[in-house]
Amino acid sequence: MSNYKYAPLEVRDLERVWQIESCAHSHPWQRSMIDDLNSRGAMHFGMFDGDILIGYFYAQNIVGEVSLLNVAVAPEFQGQGVGSRLVSYLIQRCERLKVESIWLEVRESNVIAQNLYLNSGFNEVDRRRGYYPTSSGREDAILMSYYV
C-alpha cells in the first residue's frame, strides 16, 4: 500500500465517491450530502491508488472537536486495510491540528467497523437508541470517542 496517497476530495472526485457510497452502505447518504465539500470545518479526504479513488472519509472540525461522519471503501478494496489506513490518516491530521477529540456513531450491526474503530484507539461512550433506519425498523448507534 505504499503507492497510495491521500488528498482532499475535489469536485472531480464526487462521481466516484457516489459510486462507492452507493454500494458500500446499506443506507447511503443522499447525493446532496456527498456533493457538499465546503461545509463548515470540512475535512473530506480520499485515499487514491494513482488517480483512482479507493476510499474516503468525511469529517468536520468544529472548535477542536472532530466528528467522523462517513467512511467508505470501494468493494474491491475492502478487507485490505484501507479503512484502517483512512482512520489512521484522520487521527494523524487531527494530531497535527491539535484537535482535542474525535467522535463518531456506528451502527450496532456494523461489527467490522466497530472493531476497526476499537483497534484504532476509539472507546465506546454511549448509545443512541433507534438512531439508524433499517429495512425492518431502526437500530441503535454506538457513540465512540478518541482523545487526541
By annotation, the residues acting in catalysis are: 105, 117
Nearest to 93, CA basis, from 38, 51, 47, 53: 47
Quote the CA–CA distance of 85 and 82 in Å, as a whole number. Answer: 5
Nearest to 66, CA basis, from 112, 108, 31, 97: 97
Cell numbers for 97, please give them.
491540528
Q: How far is CA 143 from the centre of its chain?
A: 14
Contact predicate 100/63, CB 8 Å: no
Q: Indicate the burial class of 115 (C-beta count within 10 angstroms; 0-12, 13-18, 19 or more).
A: exposed
